[in-house]
Every structure is written in structure tokens, then in C-alpha cells.
Structure 1
Amino acid sequence: MDVFLMIRRKTLTIFTDAKNTTTVLELKKIIEGFLKIPPQDQQLFNKDNTIMVDDRMLQDYGLTSTTTTAQNPATVGLAVRDTADAFEDLEYTPYSTADLADVMKSQEANGQEQSS
């Protein structure tokens, strides 16, 4: 079954899916396909911000088809090795929580009135 993942690093978000039996190393190879960063230069973190071990499977971290969906993917943190040969700190840039602009609010209300 598919496990749906949202891999986050700073302002970057990658949506992907894998099997619950996929190893962390295999997931790093998937990420390498997107970012061209070799697996040994990647560090993945589970929801508790603990480092995920290469030879363990996603299901070992509670990432299964029953805990994730396409509409509600699990977040996996990504840190990469920097030039000083150390891994950067795990960092997520929060998504915007800004309210809709007044112009958009009126359009949204108009759309709801028309559909009634």
C-alpha cells in the first residue's frame, strides 16, 4: 500500500509516495532524483524530529497506508550536509497563515451566493 509523504526542508516541499516497506535509504534515493543530493549527504527526520536510520522501513516509524493519505501526507524533515561536512539544523519555513485579502473575500462570498 502507498504511504504519502511531504518531505520538508526550509522553503522546499516535495510530495511523493512510497510503500510502507520502503527503507529510509530507498527514500533518500527518491529524494536524490529530485534534488541531486546523494543519500549520504541527506538526513531524514520523523514527526518527533528524531533521525531516521537508513536500514529501517517507513512502517517502523509509523508511516503506513492507514496513517497517511494523499489528502493528509506525513511530514518527513530533510537536512543536508553543508560545506563544513556537518549536517545543517532541521528547519521548516512555516506556510503562510495570512488572511485572504478583502478583494478575495468579496469574490469568495459572491461565489457562494451564486451557488445557492
Structure 2
Amino acid sequence: MDVFLMIRRQKTTIFTDAKESTTVYELKRIVEGILKRPPEDQRLYKDDQSLEDSKTLGDCGFTNQTARPQAPATVGLAFRINDEMFEQLHVEAFSSPPRTPRCDEAPGLR
């Protein structure tokens, strides 16, 4: 079955879909195709827990019930910063849209 994911790092968000049988490593290859960073320089997270490359998305708890098109599951992404360390996982919150004025507040409509 398909799972729908929102891969997030800082202010970057990637929407993608994959099969439950896709491995975490294969998901990293998808990210590589978009962000041009090799899988070994990526770390993926679910709920602040690092995901193992050999596990499938289904093994990690991503199913067609938990990762639907209208409500994709969030996967955190961090990049390697040197030979031994990865950056801290950091995802910026989405901004809120500006308040829409009511019709009676619009200038010139009184």
C-alpha cells in the first residue's frame, strides 16, 4: 500500500509517496534525487527517533492508515555536518496565513 510522507528539515518540506515495503535507505535515495545529498549524509526521524536504513516504512509504523494523502506523516531530516556528527533535528513551524478582514472592515465599503 502507498504511504504519503512530508519530509521536513528546517524550512524545507518535501511531499512524496512510497510503498510500505520501501526501506528507509530507499527513501533517502528519493531525498538525494531532490536535495543532492547522498544517503550516508542523511538521517531520517520519526517522532525524534532515528530510523534504521534496513527497516521498511511499514516496520517504522508508516501505514496507509497513518500516512494518508490528506494527512501525510511527518519525517524529520538532518544532514551530516562533519565525519562524525549530524546536525540537530530542527523543523521550522509552518507560518500562519494573515488574518482575512471582514467585509465591513474593508476601507471604502461603508
Length-normalised TM-score, structure 1: 0.83
| Aligned-residue offset at 1:62 | 1.0
Alignment of 1:9-20 (within 5 A): 9-20=9-20
| Aligned-residue offset at 1:97 | 3.0
Cα distance in structure 2, aligned partners of 1:99 and 1:55: 43
Cα distance in structure 2, aligned partners of 1:25 and 1:98: 35
Q: Deviations over 1:25-72 (max 9, x none)?
A: 0000000000000000000001x2100000000011110112111110
Change in CA separation of 1:84 and 1:105 when aligned onto 2, cut-off 3 Å: farther
Cα distance in structure 2, aligned partners of 1:84 and 1:2: 35
| Aligned-residue offset at 1:106 | 2.7
Matched with 1:97 is 96
Matched with 1:113 is none
User: 3-state DSSP class of the match of 1:26?
Assistant: helix
AA aligned to 1:36 is K
The reply to whether residue 72 of structure 1 matches residue 68 of structure 2 is no
Aligned residues: 103
Cα distance in structure 1, aligned partners of 2:83 and 2:67: 36
**Structure 2: segments with no counterpart, 5+ residues:** 104-110
The reply to whether residue 63 of structure 1 matches residue 59 of structure 2 is no
Length-normalised TM-score, structure 2: 0.87
Percent of residue pairs bearing the same amino acid type: 50
Matched with 1:21 is 21
Cα distance in structure 2, aligned partners of 1:105 and 1:57: 47
